[in-house]
């Protein structure tokens, strides 16, 4: 057996209880191997718990451990960094807890905040920077305006109020209240980004969140305005389009803008 | 007769001399101590992977600490024993971090962590065979070429040994150092733990190494038992302190530090523990001079 084959077999055995061990291993080798097998699982479940501490409180420890173990079987870590072990865990939770969108949404927030924590540093555009960048803009430039958002910014629609859920899970006392938190009457947007060195998030209206998601994917300001008009009608959309741009700027979400190419 | 190969050279980049001093691993709970005050250490060691990120607080903290202290980068994911080769993306990120921080040196472990598809995130043991030796030497050489500096390779703790091994761990490590020109990070606790687990003599292990290649020494606590486990969650035990004294009587100057990764006490407690290492080193030096 080559070293490559031996290592593949060793690693498969760490991931599966029923994997066969080498026939020439005696009790001492088998006992030693169990230490590696237990450490593999414990380390990775600990890593997920560190990334998703509030999600773990919301689900309860037993359910969290079972979900984490399931995730690691379905998605064994491939990256050199342990931070990536939790990638896709929100999707795993959505599959495991299809009737508990709060679990999935909270996990999404925690994952996005971890990503924002180590995102590339940048200086957000301020009002004077926007004025300078758009000084020569004509109408068509504004239609074609595209925004590069600060690294780490993420947005999605949610059915639970993350701003209410988050503080309840800051300690053990709020767990029952967190689990009883009702759905919001309508979906809203949740935006995660980094303020200085600190990841944070806020809740915004659904229409603004959809416009933000559209522009974050590379669409123009004109396309975002059309989206708003379709959702809200021109009367509401026109002032909102201007307000939201000012709000994104004030919150430090915009890294740079470009007009017509 | 054993053929002794000369130590490999480094072409366009050269090795480095000994650095004598005392340090600790930089851990998150101690960040305020390092950022807000003055900590009496000659160097700090950081886990490379924790800082191989795009930006944010980890790099801001490391930059600030670097202004006050010498830093060594200690990795856990190089995987020099991987039969599938080294990860070039990993090496590129490690190189970028090294260029930013200008560490005294970069170290990792004599182990493997991943196959072609998956990563265990554990320091897994190698069979000490000629094939594994070739793999480790090739991977270390590639890493040193990319990083443009010699590495320090650390002896691991291990919980199983392979029936197919053809040489001892110290013979294997010595051969890697000879062929690649790498230096050694001698973890005294790991020698103690593995000697217990595999029934070899810790003193024979140390005597079998090219001690002039040792640049750094690790100390740590472990969990005793039929199979001792390298947990880094408690104080250094008496047996490891005794082995440190024995080691220092054999090696030249080195950077000595304590690793603590779990149940991390206040920094003052670790500095007190490090003072024991200072006293042992002073005592050994006086005895060597007297002799």
Nearest to A119 among B56, B90, B119 (CB): B56
Q: Return the pLDDT at B13.
A: 54
pLDDT of residue B117: 85
pLDDT score recorded for residue A261: 62
Q: Do A11 and B114 touch (CB under 8 A)?
A: yes
To the nearest whole Å, the CA of A22 is away from the closest chain B CA by 10
pLDDT > 70? residue B70: yes
d(CA B140, CA A160): 51
Using one digit for the tens of pLDDT, what is the confidence trace for B194-250?
999 999 999 999 999 999 999 999 999 999 999 999 999 999 999 999 999 999 999
- pLDDT digit string (tens) for A171-185? 888 999 999 999 999
- Contact list in B for residue A71 (CB cut-off 8 A) is none
pLDDT digits (tens, 9 = 90+) for B45-54: 999 999 999 9
pLDDT, averaged across chain A: 95
3-state helix/strand/coil string of A178-205: HHHCCCCCCCEEEEEEEECCEEEEEEEC
Residues 6+ away with beta carbon under 8 Å from A150:
A119, A122, A124, A193, A194, A252, A253, A254, A255
Instruction: Return the pLDDT at B1.
Output: 36
3-state secondary structure A75-104: CCCCCCCHHHHHCCHHHHHHHHCCCCHHHH
Residue B12 has pLDDT above 50, yes or no: no
Q: Which residues of A touch B158 (CB under 8 A)?
A: 32
pLDDT in tens, B84-125: 999 999 999 999 999 999 999 999 999 999 998 899 999 999
Of the pLDDT bands very low, low, confident and very high (cuts 50, 70, 90), residue B28 is very high
A255 vs B: CB within 8 A: no
B132 touching A (Cβ < 8 Å): yes
Query: Is-contact B216 B259, C-beta < 8 A?
Result: no
Q: How far is A117 from chain B (nearest CA, A)?
A: 6
Backbone angles phi, psi at B104, to 5 degrees: -60, -40
- Report the 10 Å Cβ neighbour count for A12: 14
Q: CA dihedral defined by B98, B103, B105, B109, rounded to 10 degrees?
A: -60
The secondary structure of chain B as a DSSP string is: -PPPPPPP--TTS-------EEEEE--GGGHHHHHHS----SEEEEEGGGG-SSSSHHHHHHHHHHHHSEEEEE-S---TT-TT---HHHHHHHHHHHHHH--S-EEEESSEEE-SS-EEEEEE----SHHHHHHHHHHHHHHHHHHTS--EEEPPP-S---TT--S-HHHHHHHHHHHH--EEEEEHHHHHHHHHHHT--HHHHHHTS-GGGEEEEEE---B-SSS-B----SPPPHHHHHHHHHHHHHS-S-EEEE---SS---HHHHHHHHHHHHHHHHHHHHHHHH-
CB-nearest to B159 from A32, A44, A197 is A32
Q: Any CB–CB contact under 8 A between B51 and chain A?
A: no
CB contact (8 A) between residue B83 and residue A85: no
Q: Which CATH architecture has domain B21-290?
A: Alpha-Beta Barrel (3.20)
Give the CA dihedral A167, A171, A177, A182, nearest 10 degrees.
40
Share of chain B above pLDDT 90, in %: 89
User: B226 contacts in A (CB within 8 Å)?
Assistant: 31
pLDDT of A171 reads 81
Residue A47 pLDDT greater than 90, yes or no: yes
Picking from B66, B75, B24, the residue whose alpha carbon sits closest to that of residue B257 is: B24
Specify the pLDDT at position B16: 73
Residue B287 pLDDT class (50, 70, 90 cuts):
confident
Residue-by-residue DSSP string for A212-251 = HHHHHTT--HHHHHHHHHHHH-HHHHHHHHHHHHHHHHHT
Is the Cβ pair B159, A36 closer than 8 Å?
yes
Specify whether the CB–CB gap between B76 and B107 falls below 8 A.
no
Residue closest to A29 by CA, chosen among B41, B17, B125: B125
pTM of the model: 0.93
Q: Which chain B positions have a beta carbon within 8 Å of A3's beta carbon?
A: 83, 127, 129, 131-132, 135
Over residues A2-45, the pLDDT tens digits come to 999 999 999 999 988 788 888 889 999 999 999 999 999 999 99
Count chain A–chain B contacts defined by CB atoms under 8 A.
119
Q: Per residue in A80-131, pLDDT tens?
A: 999 999 999 999 999 999 999 999 999 999 999 999 999 999 999 999 999 9
Cβ distance of A118 and B158 shorter than 8 Å: no
Q: Does A43 touch chain B (CB under 8 A)?
A: yes
Closest chain A residue by Cα to residue B93: A80
- Residue A260's pLDDT band (cuts 50, 70, 90): low
Please tell me the predicted confidence (pLDDT) of residue A105. 98
| Interchain CB distance below 8 Å, B124 and A82 | no
Q: Does B29 touch chain A (CB under 8 A)?
A: no
List, as ranges, residues 178-217 from B with C-beta within 8 Å of A.
197
pLDDT of residue B151: 98
**Residue A43: which H helix or E strand, with range?**
helix A27-51
List CB contacts of B124: < 8 A, sequence separation 6 or more.
A7, A10, A11, A36, B81, B111, B112, B113
- A200 at B interface, C-beta within 8 A: no
Would the CA dihedral through A29, A31, A33, A36 be positive or negative?
Answer: negative
Cα A119 from chain centroid (whole Å): 12
Q: What ipTM, to 2 d.p.?
A: 0.93
Average pLDDT, chain B: 94
CA distance A71 to A208: 33
CA distance A69 to chain B (A): 14
pLDDT digits (tens, 9 = 90+) for B237-284: 999 999 999 999 999 889 999 999 999 999 999 999 999 999 999 999
State the pLDDT at residue B2. Answer: 38
Nearest to B120 among A6, A35, A40 (CB): A40
Q: Does any CB of chain A come closer than 8 Å to the CB of residue B262?
A: no
């Amino acid at each position: 057996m080559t070293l490559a084959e031996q290592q593949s077999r060793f690693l498969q055995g760490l991931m599966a209880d029923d994997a066969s061990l080498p026939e020439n291993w005696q009790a001492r080798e088998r006992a030693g191997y169990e230490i590696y097998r237990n450490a593999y699982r414990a380390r990775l479940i600990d890593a997920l718990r560190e990334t998703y501490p509030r999600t773990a409180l919301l689900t309860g420890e037993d359910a969290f451990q079972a979900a984490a173990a399931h995730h690691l079987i379905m998605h064994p870590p491939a990256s050199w960094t342990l931070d990536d072990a939790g990638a896709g865990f929100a999707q795993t939770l959505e599959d495991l807890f299809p009737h508990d969108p709060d679990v999935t949404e909270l996990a999404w927030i925690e994952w996005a905040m971890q990503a924002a924590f180590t995102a590339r540093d940048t200086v957000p555009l301020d009002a004077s920077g926007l004025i300078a960048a758009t000084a020569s803009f004509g109408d068509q430039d504004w239609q074609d305006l595209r925004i590069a958002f600060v690294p780490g910014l993420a947005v999605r629609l949610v059915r639970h109020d993350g701003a209410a859920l988050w503080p309840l899970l800051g300690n053990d006392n709020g767990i029952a209240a967190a689990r009883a938190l009702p759905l919001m009457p309508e979906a809203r947007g949740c935006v995660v980004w980094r303020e200085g060195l600190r990841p944070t998030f806020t809740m915004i209206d659904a229409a603004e969140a959809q416009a933000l998601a559209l522009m974050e994917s590379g669409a123009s300001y004109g396309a975002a305005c059309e989206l708003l008009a379709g959702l809200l009608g021109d009367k509401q959309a026109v002032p909102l389009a201007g307000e939201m741009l000012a709000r994104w700027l004030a919150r430090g979400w915009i890294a740079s803008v470009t007009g017509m190419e | 007769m054993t053929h002794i190969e000369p130590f490999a050279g480094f072409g366009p980049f050269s090795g480095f001399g000994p650095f004598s001093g005392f340090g600790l691993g930089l851990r998150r709970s101690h960040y305020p101590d390092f950022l807000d005050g003055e900590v009496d250490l000659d160097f700090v060691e950081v886990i490379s992977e924790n800082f191989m990120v795009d930006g944010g607080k980890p790099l801001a903290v490391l930059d600030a600490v670097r202004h006050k202290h010498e830093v060594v980068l200690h990795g856990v994911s190089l995987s020099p024993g991987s039969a599938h080769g080294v990860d070039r993306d990993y090496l590129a990120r490690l190189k970028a971090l090294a260029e930013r921080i200008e560490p005294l040196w970069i170290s990792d472990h004599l182990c493997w962590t991943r196959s072609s598809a998956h990563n265990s995130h554990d320091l897994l043991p190698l069979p000490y065979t000629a094939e594994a030796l070739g793999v480790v030497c090739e991977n270390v050489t590639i890493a040193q070429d990319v990083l443009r500096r010699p590495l320090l390779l650390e002896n691991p703790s291990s919980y199983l040994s392979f029936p197919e091994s053809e040489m001892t761990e110290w013979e294997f490590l010595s051969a890697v150092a000879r062929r690649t020109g790498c230096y050694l990070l001698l973890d005294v606790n790991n020698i103690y733990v593995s000697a217990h687990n595999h029934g070899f003599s810790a003193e024979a292990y140390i005597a079998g190494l090219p001690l002039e290649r040792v640049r750094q020494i690790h100390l740590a606590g472990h969990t005793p038992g039929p199979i001792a486990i390298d947990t880094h969650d408690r104080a250094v035990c008496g047996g490891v302190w005794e082995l440190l004294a024995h080691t220092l009587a054999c090696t030249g100057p080195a950077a000595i530090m304590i690793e603590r990764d779990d149940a991390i006490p206040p920094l003052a407690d670790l500095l007190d523990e490090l003072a024991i290492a200072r006293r042992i080193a002073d005592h050994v030096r006086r005895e060597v001079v007297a002799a």
